[in-house]
Amino acid sequence: MSGSDPGPRSHCYRHPDRESYVLCQRCGRTICPECQTPAAVGFHCPECMRESRASAPRTRPTLLRTARRVRGSDGPVATYSLIGVTFAVFVLQLLVPGVTSDLAYRPVFTASEPWTLLTSVFTHSTSSFLHILFNMLSLWVFGRILEQALGRWRLLALYLLAGLGGSVAVLLLSPLGGVLGASGAIFGLMGAFFVIHRGMGGNGSQLLVIVGINLLIGFVVPGVSWQAHVGGLVVGALVGLVLVRTRNRRQRATQVLLLAAILVGLAATTVFGFARLVDLYS
C-alpha cells in the first residue's frame, strides 16, 4: 500500500486532474477552488448550490411588496391617491404660472368658477412647503386609519364633502376673502374620526384637545382661514355621524341618500351664500 496517494477523495469530483482537500459541506464531495462557493459554514459544490437556490422561498423586493399591499384590497389606495394628486397639483403650480389663481377659491367668482370650491382643496401656497407638508402628513395619519375603518369610497366622500364644506363656510363667513389648501378637508377627517370613535365607545378627549389647539391657531395666526377649518370640521362630523349610524349593511341605501342630502344641502347653501353676497355688495 502506498502512502503517497490519499485516494479519490483528494481530487475534485468535477475535475479529476485537480487535487483538493476541501469537501462540500452538504454532500461531502471534494471540490477544487473553481467549484467552491462560500456558504455560512464551509463551502458548497455547484449541484448543492443549485438545489439550495431552487428550494429557497422566493421573495419580492421590499418596494414591490409595498406596492402590492397598496394595490390590495386592504391597502390605503384612496389616501395615497389623494396625497399623490395633491403633490402633482403642487408641482404644476410651481411649473405653470397662474395655476394657483385658477384653482384657488374666491367667493366673488363662485358663479363663474364653481369648480374652485373643490379644486382649492388640492391647491397649496407655493411660498412655503410647510403648508402642503403638514396637510399631507395629517392626511397620511388620519386617512389611512379612516380608510381601513370605512373603505375607500366612504373616505373619498368624507374628504371631498368636508373640503367643500370648508369652501362654503368661507363663502358665508368671509365672502370677500379666499382660500386654498386641504385644511378644511383635514379638519373634516378629524371631526369624523372623533364622532366615529365616540360612536363606537371610544374616548376621544385627546383628539378633541388637538382639534381645539389647531382651531385656536387658525384664529390667532394671520393668513390662516379659520372659516374653512370650522366648515370642514362641522361637515366632517356630520358625515361621520351618518356613517356610524348607518354602518349596518342593510342601511347602505339610507347611508347613500343621507350623504347625497349633505351634498345637496351644501349646494343649496352655496347658492344662498352667493345670492347674499351679490345683494350685500351690488
Which domain CATH number covers 238?
A: 1.20.1540.10
Does residue 93 share a domain with residue 48? no
Identify whether residues 184 and 88 lie together within a single domain: yes
The C-alpha atoms of residue 227 and residue 218 are separated, in whole angstroms, by 8
Residues 80 and 39 in one domain: no
Inside any domain, residue 57: no
Residue 171 lies in a domain: yes
- Give yes or no: residues 23 and 80 share one domain: no
The most distant pair of C-alpha atoms in the chain lies apart, rounded to whole Å, by 121
Encode pLDDT of 186-222 as tens digits. Answer: 999 999 999 998 888 777 777 788 888 877 877 777 7
Strand pairing class (37-38; 43-44):
antiparallel
User: Which helix (DSSP H) or strand (DSSP E) does residue 65 occupy?
Assistant: helix 62-71
Q: How many domains does the chain have?
A: 2
User: Contact, 136 vs 238, CB < 8 A?
Assistant: no
Task: Tell me the C-alpha to C-alpha distance, in Å, between residue 164 and each of 171, 235, 264, 269, 277.
Answer: 11, 9, 11, 11, 18
Alpha helices, H only, 226-251:
226-245
36 and 174 in a common domain: no
- At 3 the pLDDT is 41
> Which is the catalytic residue, given 183, 197, 225, 282?
183
- Whether 58 is in a domain gets the answer no
Ranges of residues in the chain whose predicted pLDDT is under 50: 1-8, 62-64, 66-67, 70
Question: Residue 7 has what pLDDT?
Answer: 46
* 192 in Cβ contact with 146 (< 8 Å): yes
Same domain? 193 vs 106: yes
Q: Are residues 47 and 83 in the same domain?
A: no
126 and 242 belong to one structural domain = yes
In a domain, 200, yes or no: yes
Assess contact for 206 and 139: CB atoms under 8 A. no
- Backbone region of residue 181 per phi and psi (left: phi > 0; alpha: psi in -120 to 50; beta: other values): left
Rounded CA gap, 248 and 67, in Å?
31
Residue 276 lies in a domain: yes
**Active-site residue identified among 44, 124, 131, 229:** 229
Please check whether residues 244 and 115 belong to one and the same domain. yes
Residue 242 located in a structural domain = yes
Residues whose CB is less than 8 angstroms from the CB of residue 166 and which lie 6 or more positions away in sequence, other chains included: 121, 179, 183, 184, 185, 187, 188, 225, 227, 228, 229, 231, 232, 235
For residue 203, the SS3 value is coil
The reply to whether 66 falls in a domain is: no
| 18 vs 11: CA distance, rounded Å | 6
Task: Count CA within 13 A, CB hemisphere, residue 143.
Answer: 25
Are 176 and 40 members of one domain?
Answer: no
CB 102 within 8 A of CB 72: no
Residue 30 phi, psi (nearest 5): -75, 135
148 in the same domain as 83: yes
Q: For residue 131, indicate whether it is catalytic.
A: no
User: Annotated catalytic, 183?
Assistant: yes
* Same domain assignment for residues 14 and 107: no
Domain range holding 168? 76-281
- Residue at 46 is within a domain: yes
Tell me how far apart the alpha carbons of residues 261 and 106 are, in angstroms, rounded to a whole number. 25
Residues 47 and 12: their CA atoms lie apart, in Å, by 13
Cα–Cα distance, 120 to 224 (Å, whole number): 14
